[in-house]
Amino acid sequence: MQTKSPIIPLEVRRGRARRGTRGRSFTRLIRFPFALALLSLAFGAAAPAAGPPMPLVARDVHVLGTKVGRMTSEQARRHVKAAFARPVRFRLGNETWSARPSELGASANIDAAVTRALRARPGKTLPLEVGIWRVRLRKYVDGLDHKYSYPAEDAKLVGLSADLQPAISESRPGRSVDTESMARGIVSSLRAGVRPVIPLQLTTIQPRVATSDFGSIIVIRRGSNELNLYSGTQLVESFRVATGWPEYPTPLGEWSIVSMQRDPWWYPPKASEWAKGLKPVPPGPGNPLGTRWMGLSAGGVGIHGTPDSASIGYSASHGCIRMLISDATWLFDHVSVGTPAFVVSA
């Protein structure tokens, strides 16, 4: 019994390949992947591992105070962008706050700065082009002014105290934000390499009327026929006067001087029964108003001199406040239109 020869795989029997076309084609198919693998290995060993190296910024180059030396363009861009985005800080006393550059109307040309940095020599310090939108910056500083400014308070006459002396409120200085200085400081900070804290720049506003120099105030005591002149709360001078008869009382209340005349004419009041038939009197001796007239906001009533010195100290007028002619002349020189005049019953 003849034993059959074992079947040997074709790839082993290289020396015994059949001459038939089918055998040769199959052998080529088997060998082709192997050849491809060898070719791939050969070309892979010869190909470069990566593309050309990225250009770097020269050593010790700075943009906006930020070191970008030995960085790629993308690394430098990130660093400069982060440096510019730092907030601007402000302080007033113990209060601090901050604002982003965009809130202040600022923008930066970072790409241009990085391009210059890539071309710069070692150790070069480069600026950053910062643009400012003035409308937004003005809006921000005006907001600071609105929040932190307040007006000065003038001293004001609030009435009379219990002892019938003038009561005056205290004056208080105001303040306003110096918006021009603040705008300059903000722009400087945005364009610099550092972000120092910016103190709020304030301007003090002084009151127009201080408590110490309030001015003249008249207090007329109708019951005791006395006129007191004050400068603020300080008594300057006292005078004996004549006030109105009980039938024509001097009106109580807070009034003010509204007119002042030297050597006035006297005109009989049209609405008064007692003046019917009387004629105007020109300036000169015997004029019922003397030589000075200080009309009050109480209609038809005023402070004036009188040739009838015997009436001083009594209720003897038709509502006006009479003074000796010399006293009325002195008072005229120490008051003005607008001077307050209180008439009290005491």
Strands 216-221 and 340-344: parallel
Contact (CB, 8 A) for 72 and 115: no
| Distances in whole angstroms, Cα of residue 13 to Cα of each of 9, 10, 202 | 6, 5, 102
Pick the catalytic residue from 62, 304, 318, 334: 304
> What Cα–Cα distance (Å) separates residue 265 from each residue in 25, 289, 303?
145, 8, 14
Nearest Cα to Cα of residue 172 among 156, 158, 157, 155: 155
Measured between alpha carbons, how far is residue 157 from residues 79, 214, 230, 246 in Å? 63, 8, 12, 30
201 close to 185: Cβ distance less than 8 angstroms: yes
Residue 79: active-site member = no
CB contact at 8 A, 295 and 340? no
Q: What's the chain's Rg over C-alpha atoms? A: 51
The single residue of 62, 146, 320, 334 carrying the catalytic annotation is 320
Here the contacts of 147-150 (C-beta below 8 Å, separation 24 or greater) are 148/92, 148/175, 148/177, 148/200, 148/202, 149/174, 149/175, 149/176, 149/177, 149/202, 150/174, 150/175
| Contact of 128 with 108, CB cutoff 8 Å | yes
Specify whether the CB–CB gap between 191 and 107 falls below 8 A: no
Burial of residue 114, with CB atoms counted within 10 A of its CB: 0-12 exposed, 13-18 middle, 19 or more buried: buried
Residue numbers annotated as active site:
304, 320
